[in-house]
Amino acid sequence: MSEVGTSAGTLSPYRIESPSQTKPMAGAMGLVFISLGFVMYLAMQADAAGSSYLAIGIVSLIVILFTLIDVEFGIYCLIGGMLLSPEIPIPFIHLPGRQVIVRIDDMMILMVGAAWFAQTAVRGKLDHLVSTPLNKPILLFLFITIISTARGSFMGSVGSPLTAFFFVLKFIEFFLLYFLVVNTISSEAQIRRIMISYFITLLVVVIYATWMSVVTRQIGRATTPFESAEEPGTLGGYLLFSFALAFGLLNYISNPISKLFYFAVMCAIIPPFLYTLSRGSYMAFFPMFIGVLYLSKRKLIPFALLVVLALAMPYLPSTTKERVEYTFQNRIENIFNPEEEVVLDPSSTARLERYNGVILQWQYKPLLGQGMTGVGFVDSQIVRVLGELGILGLLTLSWIFKNLFQSALTLYRFLPNGYMKGLVLGMIAGTIGLIFHGATANTFTVVRIAGPFWVMAGITFVIYRLHEKELKASHAS
């Protein structure tokens, strides 16, 4: 089968249509959000018998029908669903000590992936799947996850194999999302449309969090919509990553109206971000910001924003100040009085004790770890991977991020000033922030953070592929 190009500098070995022929159907993006809004309304009617399952049925039907026509539509559904999907309990599946809860986005990832795979198989293009520097480490990471969990199930370190299966399935969903984006998107026009969907979803989440936690004070800490329990750390990580994307775009787009829009988005993110009271998110904000400041060739905007943030420090909300002082005041005092005993706050003490327990468990199985869920709950992605998947799992995860950073930095330095360069800058800085966020949270196993991250990782390699010829020529010269 012959390869059909789309435009100059665009490699598209797996689609017949040109990007101009694959624009979303009229009103498709609006339909996504109207559908999700209807689903959210049904989910809130907790007393209505069967409303949750009716919601699943409606969304499933919409996603399957439209995705079979255009897989790009399915990606819009996923972007909205990852943040605006309600939790739906599954009463007929019983796990030890916990209730099984499914989000509609979990179903959508599998459905969109199945529709894409079926479409690809029918067209006979399975041998044309796109190769990226992340393919091998991702597959190796999944292999280690499955082997470690299977071993843990047989040896007894994994208490509930069914619970572990759902966690393994979560990783598979995230990587499927990455491969879906890489193999479906083939033009910069599509990337821009996806980012429009991303920022619309972001604004919905920001408005909800601001209204609930800042304006009406109906909840104590800002959180994402439709959580059975408050998850401020999840919202903090998502807003941190989104702030970095808007920050990167603000640096390199030239249109004044667009600049004003992304600046407004950044300003809108700050109030709910502060009201998350998430110390891990606060800590991760500074490495993210330094990443933009260091990499950006246009230092004026980052420096100006840094000055504004510094001047605004005295005017932070009282709850934010109290949270920071509660965490750090005692440690600052002990710097000047080293003879005094360092007393940590209860939350930090519990975390450190839990980390120590995981390290002790890891020592018994250092290479492959205890398997998924084998070390229980631990609030740190790095410590958790070490305990569950061992040294091999942690090294493979490091390999994934090493290849991602290496490719993204090469692409960023090559790209001319403009939208795509800003987007890649935001992705790099946002990833730096999420890695620091993962020191105190399960950042890359939470769909509302990991989902957007893997979509953006896929978009980064789509941009790389679109400029692959020029990159190779540049390296050769």
Q: How many CB atoms lie within 10 A of CB 100?
A: 15
**pLDDT in the model for residue 447:** 87
The pLDDT > 70 percentage for the chain reads: 74
* Confidence band for 162, pLDDT divided at 50, 70 and 90: confident
Rounded Cα–Cα distance for residues 232 and 237 (Å): 9
Q: What is the mean pLDDT of the chain?
A: 80
**Mean pLDDT lowest among 92-96, 249-253, 266-270, 295-299:** 92-96
Identify how many contiguous H helices and E strands the chain contains and give both numbers.
17, 2
Q: Which residues contact 398 (CB under 8 A, 6 or more apart)?
A: none
Digit-coded pLDDT (tens) for 418-454: 999 999 999 999 999 999 999 989 999 988 999 999 9
Which carries the bigger pLDDT value, residue 55 or residue 221?
221
Rounded Cα–Cα distance for residues 387 and 191 (Å): 37
Strands (E), 202-266: none
CA distances from 153 to 64, 330, 396 (A): 35, 43, 22
Rounded Cα–Cα distance for residues 444 and 233 (Å): 12
Contact 251, 292 (CB under 8 A): yes
The pLDDT > 90 percentage for the chain reads: 41
**pLDDT in the model for residue 111:** 75
pTM: 0.85
Report which DSSP code applies to 98: E
**pLDDT in the model for residue 24:** 47
Alpha helices in 14-84 (DSSP H): 28-44, 51-69, 71-84
**pLDDT in the model for residue 57:** 64
Digit-coded pLDDT (tens) for 30-84: 555 555 555 555 555 544 445 555 666 666 666 667 666 677 777 887 888 788 8
pLDDT at position 20 over 50: no
Which of 130-139, 236-245, 329-338, 367-376 ranks highest by mean pLDDT? 236-245
pLDDT at position 135 over 90: yes
Rounded Cα–Cα distance for residues 370 and 386 (Å): 9
Mean pLDDT, range 157-180, rounded to an integer: 88
Q: How many CB atoms lie within 10 A of CB 446?
A: 19
Mean pLDDT, range 139-165, rounded to an integer: 90
* Confidence band for 303, pLDDT divided at 50, 70 and 90: confident
Rounded Cα–Cα distance for residues 452 and 334 (Å): 40
**Mean pLDDT lowest among 11-20, 235-244, 320-329:** 11-20
Digit-coded pLDDT (tens) for 387-407: 999 999 999 999 999 999 999
Which of 25-34, 63-72, 260-269 ranks highest by mean pLDDT? 260-269
Contact 147, 370 (CB under 8 A): no
Q: Which residue has the tokens 């980052």?
A: 302
pLDDT at position 114 over 80: no
Rounded Cα–Cα distance for residues 475 and 472 (Å): 5
Question: What are 265's two structure tokens?
Answer: 């988005």
3 state SS of 65: helix
